[in-house]
Every structure is written in C-alpha cells, then in structure tokens.
Amino acid sequence: METIHLKKAIQPELTIAQWFKNVYYAVKSTAVGMGITFKYVWARPVVTIEYPEVREELPANSRSRLYNDAENCISCLQCAVSCPVDCIYIAAVKRPTDAPKIKTKDGTPIRLDLKQYTIDTALCMYCGLCTTVCPTECLTHTTDYEYASYTLASMKYDYLAPDIRAWRTRIVKS
Ligand code: SF4
Ligand code: SF4
C-alpha cells in the first residue's frame, strides 16, 4: 500500500513590524482607490443621462432617419438613382392633362402622381446623397434616433402611409 507523506506548509512567521506594514498598505491602497472613485462621483461633470426619461438632442445636421415630405415630391427619381445601395423604391404615374395644376412649396410644377415612396432603412447607410440631390428639398434627414425594430420588414418605411405623418408630427420640427 502506497504511503502518502503530508508536509506542513512552511509559512514565514510575521513580525509585528511586517504586520503593521501590511495593515498600512491595505488602508493606503483602499484610500487611494476610493479617492479615485469619489473624484468621478462628485468632482467631475456628469456625462451620462437617464434615458429614456431624459433624451439627448442630436445636432440639427445629423444624418438620422430619413423623411420624405411626399406632398412636395415631384417623383423625379434623382434620390433613387443616386442611392448607392438602391434602397429607395418609387412609383409614379403621369397626371391627367385635365387635372388641376399643382406645385410644390418652392413653386416646382408636380407633373406626376406619386404612388409609392418607400425607403428600406435596413439597407440605408445614411450617406445623405439622396437628400443632397433632391431638387425640392422634400427629402431630408431628421434627428430621430428612436426607431429600433424587431424585424427587417418593419424597417421599410412607406412615406405615403398615415403612420409616417403621425411620426412626422411627433419628430420633425418644421
Ligand atoms: S442616405 Fe444614402 S443609402 Fe440611405 S437612402 Fe439616401 S442615398 Fe440611399
Ligand atoms: S429627389 Fe426628391 S423630389 Fe425627386 S423623387 Fe426623390 S424625394 Fe422626390
């Protein structure tokens, strides 16, 4: 039968002086650590906010969620053509010749009836090219950043749908 030899761990005896030294370093390092903590708690300006009770305003020139004020859209397709990821879908038909003449707010004649204006936000990379080329400036970036979604399908925005108008009223400052 194999014999197991147990050896007692050899620990150096602590002198009184070393014991006090250890206590001193423990207290000192705790004080230094807590000093750094309290410096951030009381002596530095607060950089966090309690979202969603408090909401940060993005700068006015932020490139966030797109909005098309469809009543001022002339269906020229320039935004769709300029989009590098082809995420803007537009359908329009020619207005009847006997239909009343209508214009955008900047006076541009509207010769086409917009039937579909959809942006797939899941594909959009917020480059801003579409807003830059829009001749009537009806397509703009907003400062809305609260539009997280559970499905890709729900990130396709139909800018002729009533819920977009409700969103515009809530978000877009005109
Ligand atoms: S911001 Fe860029 S990627 Fe997004 S829809 Fe406009 S052109 Fe396309
Ligand atoms: S560029 Fe502007 S006016 Fe032309 S289709 Fe796009 S949103 Fe409408």
List Cα–Cα distances, 29 to 14, 18, 34, in angstroms: 21, 16, 9
88 and 160 part of one domain: yes
More confident residue, 172 or 118: 118
Residue 7 resides in a domain: no
Ligand 2: centre distance to CA 148 (Å): 25
Q: Whose CA is nearest to atom 5 of ligand 1?
A: 124
Q: pLDDT per residue over 63-108, tens digit each?
A: 999 999 999 999 999 999 999 999 999 999 999 999 999 999 999 9
136 Cβ inside 6 Å of ligand 2: yes
154 and 85 part of one domain: yes
126 Cβ inside 6 Å of ligand 1: yes
Q: Which helix (H) or strand (E) holds 164?
A: helix 162-171
pTM for this predicted structure = 0.75
Of the candidates 96, 106, 94, which has an alpha carbon nearest to the alpha carbon of residue 69?
A: 106
134 and 70 part of one domain: yes
85 Cβ inside 6 Å of ligand 1: yes
- How far is residue 67's CA from residue 141's CA, in Å, rounded to a whole number? 6
Q: 136: domain CATH number?
A: 3.30.70.3270
Q: Residue range 19-42: average pLDDT?
A: 93
Total domains present in the chain: 2
For 69-161, strand residue ranges (E) read 88-94, 112-120, 139-141, 156-158
Ligand 1: centre distance to CA 156 (Å): 13
Range of the domain at 130: 66-171
Average pLDDT of the residues of the chain: 90
135 and 163 part of one domain: yes
The reported pLDDT for the residue numbered 20 is: 94
156 and 80 part of one domain: yes
More confident residue, 137 or 40: 137
Q: Which residues contact 94 (CB under 8 A, 6 or more apart)?
A: 111, 112, 113
The reported pLDDT for the residue numbered 170 is: 74
Sign of CA dihedral 155, 159, 161, 162: positive
Q: pLDDT per residue over 132-160, tens digit each?
A: 999 999 999 999 888 888 999 999 999 99
Q: Which residues contact 14 (CB under 8 A, 6 or more apart)?
A: 22
The reported pLDDT for the residue numbered 13 is: 77
User: In the predicted model, is pLDDT for residue 10 greater than 60?
Assistant: no
Kind of pairing, strands 88-94 and 139-141?
unpaired
Residue 128 resides in a domain: yes
76 Cβ inside 6 Å of ligand 2: yes
Residue 52 resides in a domain: no
73 and 159 part of one domain: yes
